[in-house]
């Protein structure tokens, strides 16, 4: 199955630009630019398949966000089924 | 666009009905399409019609006055919704919105009641659907009232991995709305499951690594 996972999604109506996610991201993939949260180097975000996959960020940006503005969507699979699943 | 008897018979709700009956129903069906995220129905509004999903996926959900959401179900092709208000004449029970591009067939309430009075097969299909719905909602009440979030989340993860509902990518907030809790609690519980070696988060996936362990969690009483 082709990987097409999106970057973490940001709900700008909830984001207070507190910068916690910027501080927490171990890959330095997030920046605040012109009053906006930006994933500056998507290739550095381990949530995406382009990452080398050596770093386990535990989706810290989502975890630390106090307003729930960041979401890292995922499909749910059994270990053995992971290459078979199809999502919407 | 006109709905045909063939198109209607492909939907599981109608598949057991004779073509003669379907031919009488077809002229009263109106087809609607919705884009992802578009609102189909608002909770509390007067009931206008019964809906059948022809293509795509919708979700039904309840909203608290504070805006907290509890998802009742994701419904795919062949499944009806808004049956209860169409039968009792009271306002819509729940809000419904489109998850994907959706095609819906609708029948106005008064017309639907008339069809029920004249066609035993349709009435039976409605009763079977409502019986299944009572059973499912009863299980949901049991889950919410008697089980911990840890158990409910374990059950949810197993059901999703098993393909019990239309597959989709979930956010923690959506899962919270589905199992009756809040996002932070889902996040904490997922972390605890990961620390216990039951699951693993990776690129856009949550992998159940210890199915037997998660099933033990799912059987625990609250």
**Residue of B207, B210, B212, B213 to mutate, interface with A, max A Cβ within 10 Å:** B207
Q: With beta carbons under 8 A apart, name residues in chain A contacting B173.
A: 68, 71
Asked whether residue B142 is domain-assigned, the answer is no
Model pLDDT, residue B67: 78
Who wins on pLDDT, B151 or A43? Answer: B151
**Are B11 and B115 members of one domain?**
yes
Nearest-by-Cβ selection for B201 from A48, A59, A78: A59
Residues B176 and B211 in one domain: yes
Which chain A residue's Cα is nearest to B161?
A: A77
Residue B172 touches partner A, C-beta closer than 8 Å: yes
Residue B135 lies in a domain: no
Could you give the number of structural domains in chain B? 2
B130 located within any domain:
no
CATH number at residue B180: 1.10.10.10
- Domain CATH code at residue B68: 2.60.120.10
Q: What is the ipTM of this complex?
A: 0.70
A69, burial (CB in 10 Å: exposed 0-12, middle 13-18, buried 19+): buried
Residue A56 confidence (pLDDT)? 58
**B155 and B204 part of one domain:** yes
Mean pLDDT score of chain A: 73
DSSP for B123-190, please give it. HHHHHHHHHHHHHHHHHHHHHHHHS-HHHHHHHHHHHHHTT-S----B-HHHHHHHHTS-HHHHHHHH
The last residue of one of the domains, among B121, B156, B173, is B121
Are residues B25 and B98 both part of a single domain? yes
Residue B126 lies in a domain: no
Judge if pTM exceeds 0.80. no
Query: Could you tell me if residue B92 is inside a domain?
Result: yes
Residue B72 lies in a domain: yes
B99 and B179, same structural domain? no
- Percentage of chain B beyond pLDDT 70 is 96
The model's pLDDT over B129-159, given as tens digits with 9 standing for 90+, comes to 999 999 988 988 888 888 999 999 999 999 9
Please give the residue range of the domain that contains residue B162: 147-219
Q: B127 in a domain, yes or no?
A: no
Same domain, B35 and B105: yes
Do residue B108 and residue B188 come from a single domain?
A: no
Q: How confident is the model at residue A46 (pLDDT cuts 50, 70, 90)?
A: low
CB atoms B171 and A82 under 8 Å = no
Q: Select the residue from B205, B212, B213 to test the A interface by mutation, using most A Cβ atoms within 10 A.
A: B205
Pair B32, B103 in one domain: yes
Residues B153 and B103 in one domain: no
Task: Provide the 10 A C-beta neighbour count for residue A4.
Answer: 9
Residues B110 and B162 grouped into a single domain: no
User: Are B105 and B166 part of one and the same domain?
Assistant: no
- Range picked from A6-15, B50-59, B135-144 for highest mean pLDDT: B50-59
Smallest CA–CA distance from B99 into chain A, residue: A88
Q: What pLDDT does residue B32 have?
A: 96
Q: From CA B148, how far away is CA B69, in angstroms rounded?
A: 19
Question: Given this model, what pLDDT does residue A52 score?
Answer: 45
Q: In this structure, are B67 and B112 located in the same domain? A: yes
């Amino acid at each position: 199955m082709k990987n097409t996972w999106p970057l973490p999604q940001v709900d700008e109506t909830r984001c207070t630009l507190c910068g916690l996610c910027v501080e927490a991201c171990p890959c330095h993939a997030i920046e605040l630019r012109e009053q906006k949260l930006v994933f500056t180097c998507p290739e550095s975000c381990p949530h995406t398949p382009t990452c080398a996959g050596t770093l386990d960020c535990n989706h810290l940006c989502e975890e630390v966000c106090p307003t729930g503005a960041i979401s890292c969507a995922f499909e749910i699979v059994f270990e053995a089924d992971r290459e078979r699943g199809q999502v919407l | 666009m006109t709905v045909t008897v063939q198109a209607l018979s492909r939907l599981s709700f109608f598949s057991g009905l004779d073509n003669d009956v379907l031919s009488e129903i077809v002229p009263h069906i109106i087809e609607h399409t919705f884009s992802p995220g578009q609102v189909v129905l608002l909770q509390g509004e007067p009931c206008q019609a019964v809906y059948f999903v022809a293509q795509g996926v919708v979700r039904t959900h309840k909203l608290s006055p504070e805006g907290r959401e509890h998802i009742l179900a994701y419904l795919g092709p062949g499944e009806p919704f808004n049956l209860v208000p169409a039968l009792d004449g009271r306002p819509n029970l729940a809000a419904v919105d489109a998850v994907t591009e959706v095609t819906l067939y609708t029948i106005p309430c008064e017309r639907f009641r008339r069809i029920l009075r004249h066609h035993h097969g349709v009435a039976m299909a409605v009763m079977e659907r409502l019986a299944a719905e009572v059973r499912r909602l009863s299980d949901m009440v049991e889950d919410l009232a008697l089980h911990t979030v840890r158990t409910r989340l374990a059950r949810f993860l197993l059901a999703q991995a098993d393909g019990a509902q239309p597959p989709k990518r979930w956010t923690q907030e959506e899962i919270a709305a589905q199992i009756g809790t809040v996002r932070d609690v889902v996040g904490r519980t997922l972390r605890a499951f990961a620390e216990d070696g039951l699951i693993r988060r990776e690129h856009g996936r949550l992998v159940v690594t210890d199915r037997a362990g998660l099933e033990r969690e799912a059987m625990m009483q609250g």
